[in-house]
Amino acid sequence: MSSAHHTARPGEVIDNPDWYSRCCTDLANHKPQPGRMGAMKAVLTNASRLWNNGQTLTVSFVRPAGTKTQQDKVKEVVKEWEKYANLKFQFLGNNNRNANIRIAFDPEDGSWSYVGRDNLSIPKTQNTMNFGWVRTQADIDEDDRGVILHEFGHAIGYLHEHQSPRRAEKLTLKEKAVIEYYTRTQGWDEKTVRQQILNVYNLQDISNFSIIDLTSIMMYFMPGAMNEENIDVPPNNALSPYDKAFAALNYPFIAEGANAEASNAKVEAALATLGVQDEFKQSILAEFAQKDWEGVRAEFTRWSVNEKALAEKEKAKETPASLVVQE
């Protein structure tokens, strides 16, 4: 996990924090080409956007391809995702337009990435990811690590956490404050602010999700004055336990022989982290035992939907009778 959350003072003026410039492109004045706005919706996933389990994804740096130092940072940091997701990143030579993921380092274009398999529909003349602020110094600092992990989270199919269907269980956004902030700092109109910040995903847009994870690498920054709980969420620069668990279940390491026990232990640990129990745990483990990674994903989705339903049921119980509309 990275930075701890702290409480904002009531009535605190929302201003640009010093880490404001280090956020994903949706919040960095990037004017998307047709299709990108819809793609930039991520620990949330959509099964149709996930890659096949065990797939090797080819990567190339394209013009402006950055410095060798910047490229080496990307190659090093993405190894973190490979520890938890059964995917491999194969780096090809520069300017290989046939690569699945094509990375540029344009400092004027912010940092962004297409989501999962959406990369395959992007014309080969275009890059599919950009890093606008990976430094040219040799050391990898927290900001470098955070933005690389975040954008590659998109690349493997993760959606933005702040738009989780279960956001309201932890955060209640102040619409007026949010709209004022992003119209002032980003030049967006109200419709865009609602699409990119206020609206949560419909269930048909996503498949696997949990209670909102404020420490997720996919969670947007949020000044405390934007939500009723006054929770200040600074950028996260490391994979959270939930990030790792989602990777383990969406891209499970399915092994045989001497490695089978270790692979099973990883799935068991991921289920424990997320609190998956009883019939759902058994059904996921059964699919895993059959080496059916698609079945694991499907059962994980079934658990996600059920958890949301249970949370809504509990919330309804807590609603005061005086607020229930009488017919």
Task: Report the chain's C-alpha Rg in angstroms.
Answer: 20
Q: How many CA atoms lie within 13 A of 4 on its CB side?
A: 2
The confidence score (pLDDT) of residue 161 equals 56
Show the domains of the chain with their CATH numbers: 1-240 (3.40.390.10), 252-309 (no CATH)
Cβ-Cβ contacts under 8 Å for 259 (sequence gap 6 or more) = none
Structure token digits, residue 319: 């609603």
The confidence score (pLDDT) of residue 14 equals 42
Query: Tens-of-pLDDT digits for all 327 residues of the chain?
Result: 222 232 333 333 444 443 333 435 432 233 333 332 222 223 445 677 899 999 999 999 999 999 999 999 999 999 999 999 999 999 999 999 999 999 999 998 888 899 899 999 999 999 999 999 999 999 999 999 999 999 999 999 987 655 556 677 788 999 999 899 878 876 778 988 887 778 875 555 544 455 678 889 988 778 888 999 999 888 799 999 999 999 999 999 998 888 899 999 999 999 999 999 999 999 999 999 999 999 999 899 888 878 878 877 877 877 555 444 444
Strand-pair partners of 208: 45
Q: How many CA atoms lie within 13 A of 90 on its CB side?
A: 10
The confidence score (pLDDT) of residue 272 equals 97
Task: Report the DSSP pairing between strands 88-91 and 129-130.
Answer: unpaired
- The amino acid at residue 108 is E
CA-CA-CA-CA dihedral for 6, 10, 16, 18, to nearest 10 = -30
Task: Report the DSSP pairing between strands 129-130 and 112-113.
Answer: antiparallel
Strand-pair partners of 227: 173
Q: What is the pTM of this model?
A: 0.80
The confidence score (pLDDT) of residue 138 equals 96
By CB atoms closer than 10 A (0-12, 13-18, 19+), residue 22 is buried
Q: How far apart are CA 48 and CA 298, in angstroms?
A: 11
Are the C-beta atoms of residues 90 and 78 closer than 8 Å to each other?
Answer: no
The confidence score (pLDDT) of residue 165 equals 63
The confidence score (pLDDT) of residue 99 equals 98
The confidence score (pLDDT) of residue 197 equals 79
Q: How far apart are CA 247 and CA 85, in angstroms?
A: 5
